[in-house]
Amino acid sequence: MRRCAVRRLSLGILGLASGVSLSTLACPDFLNTEMRKLASTEVINFCEAYGDKPLLIVNTASNCGYTHQLAGLEQVHQRYQSDGLVVLGFSSDDFSGRR
């Protein structure tokens, strides 16, 4: 089941990666923002950092029932990072107060 989910996710990523590069377009609204890195004072401008890369944006929590999915996300990252894919995780406390 887990392997099947990773395969489906991988196929979806391949579809995204084959699309038009964002660098040929104006910065889309969802990237037109800045955020501070977790446990850091460094601020990242998403258009500058990720505007020309395919993104997989994930809402994560490290202490919940979905933690097992992080291993699959790491596999996706390792497999496709050389193709430019960025797996971008956001910590969330929307999972019953867990981060």
State the CB neighbour count (10 A cutoff) for residue 41: 6
The domain locations on the chain are: 2-91
Give long-range contacts, CB 8 A cutoff, 24+ apart: 42-48: none
Whole-structure pTM value: 0.59
Tokens of 70: 């992080």
Q: How far apart are CA 44 and CA 41, in angstroms?
A: 10
Calpha distance 1→50 (Å, rounded): 31
CA distance 60 to 69: 9
Q: Which run of H or E residues covers position 44?
A: strand 43-45
Q: Which tokens hold the place of 94?
A: 């929307």
How high is the pLDDT of residue 67?
76
Where is average pLDDT lowest: 51-60, 61-70, 85-94? 61-70
Mean pLDDT of the region 53-72: 80
pLDDT of residue 44: 92
Please check whether residue 67 is in contact with residue 61, taking contact to mean a CB–CB distance below 8 angstroms.
yes
CATH topology of domain 2-91: Glutaredoxin (3.40.30)
List residues with catalytic annotation: 64
